[in-house]
Amino acid sequence: MTDRSAYICRRVFDGEKIRSNAALLVEEGRVSRVSSPSDIPEGFSQVELGEGILSPGLIDLQVNGGGGLMLGDAESVADIDQICSAHVRLGTTALTPTLITDSPEVTRKVVDLGIAAWKDRVPGFQGLHLEGPHLFAGRKGAHDASLIRPMTDDDIRLYLRAADELPNLIITLAAETVSPDQIATLAGAGIRISLGHSGASYEECRVAVNAGASCVTHLYNAMSPLQHREPGMVGAALDLGGLSAGLIADGVHVDPVAIKIALKSKSGPGRIFLVTDAMSQTGTDVTSFFLGGREIFRSDGMLKLADGTLAGADIDLPSSLKYLTGVVDLELETALAMATSYPAGFLDRNMGRFSEGQPADFVHLGDDFTVKSVWMNGQAV
């Protein structure tokens, strides 16, 4: 018997706009279409969700850990599944687990585990994000300066192999520490190059973009600021239309006024999308944990090293949506797109929308953005 269900909700966001009193039609675990409840065909079982928002599953391209684990500490595919599961339960049905600057051995291990996780179809896993180690130590943030290093031919070979076997690979690097030729080689293989943890000038960023860089990692944080005589990386992110940018909207990393300015300034095909920069505490109630032997303390919605340096963020995507629509006063459709279709567009993947034939990954959010239910491939999680 064919599995056909119609999910009826007060508001349905299709990846671009909100439809009032609409129904998402799902057949055999895949999206059919969004319709009016009065146009539901015969043979569909009807699921009344009532109030709230039905949205494509959320997408997070910067997730350092979750469920009590950091990606660098993973030793098995089951560990990667543990990280992904913590975020899936919070409405994020597609993510790229992120490795913070580490040794060549750990980087190779994580790449191999990521390839295995993709082959095993770990729910939610959509590739890897390598944040480092080719960064500028002067803008290291919580990264271990002793592990930051130049890019070698061995690194490039590893990244090219990973790109060939993963659905997506993002690499954050500093424009001033990696050559344009290296960027061009990686970007030419389909790797998404993101600029971050960098003191690069506007011109250095422009050269990197011309070589193939297409994004900026956690806008405003750990990068050269916008100044009136040197626009820096922030200026490049807002001025160069082809650059997308990840944004942490937790009320700690970026002031709401700075968020408003960025959203008003950004034009062109590049978009600003939400990331959490989540750490291992996501989905747990721990008050501290360790990163590379250094203790990170969790309090008042912040994660900090002992010296006060911010070390990731203590927020999930639904909470980010609440912050954007409440504190920043951003319209709901734009905020939802920043967590769905915009990051999907950066990856150039047909996700983050209710498109015919796509896997039925979706989330029901309350009006206060609490996660009520999550589905993957049409099945409740």
Cα 202 versus chain centre, distance: 25
Report pLDDT for 19: 97
Q: Nearest to residue 61, comparing CAs of 228, 194, 239, 208?
A: 194
Q: Nearest to residue 148, comparing CAs of 159, 137, 139, 163?
A: 137
Report pLDDT for 298: 86
| pLDDT of 241 strictly over 70 | yes
Round to whole Å and give the CA distance between 187 and 208: 11
DSSP of 272-337: EEEE--B-TTTTS--SEEEETTEEEEEETTEEE-TTS-EEEE---HHHHHHHHHHTS---HHHHHH
φ, ψ at 266 (rounded to 5°): -75, 125
Report pLDDT for 1: 47
Q: Which domains does the chain have, with CATH numbers?
A: 4-56+354-380 (2.30.40.10), 58-347 (3.20.20.140)
Torsion angle of C-alpha atoms 71, 74, 79, 84, degrees rounded to 10 = 10
Q: Nearest to residue 32, comparing CAs of 253, 360, 380, 369?
A: 360
Place of tokens 């600057």: 101
Report pLDDT for 182: 98
Residue 308 CB: number of other CB atoms within 10 A? 9
Q: How confident is the model at residue 80 (pLDDT cuts 50, 70, 90)?
A: very high
Residue 377, sorted as left (phi over 0), alpha (psi -120 to 50) or beta, turns out to be left
pLDDT, greater one: 177 or 310:
177
For 33-59, give one letter per residue: b (16+ CB within 10 A) or e.
ebbeeeebeeebeebebeebbbbbbbb
Mean pLDDT of the chain: 95
Is 277 a known active-site residue?
yes
Q: Which of 98-102, 276-280, 297-301, 365-369 has the lowest mean pLDDT?
A: 297-301
3-state DSSP assignment of residue 360: coil
Q: How confident is the model at residue 253 (pLDDT cuts 50, 70, 90)?
A: very high
Q: Percent of the chain scored above 90 by pLDDT?
A: 88
Local structure of residue 71 (DSSP, 8 states): G
Catalytic hit among 277, 314, 316, 361: 277
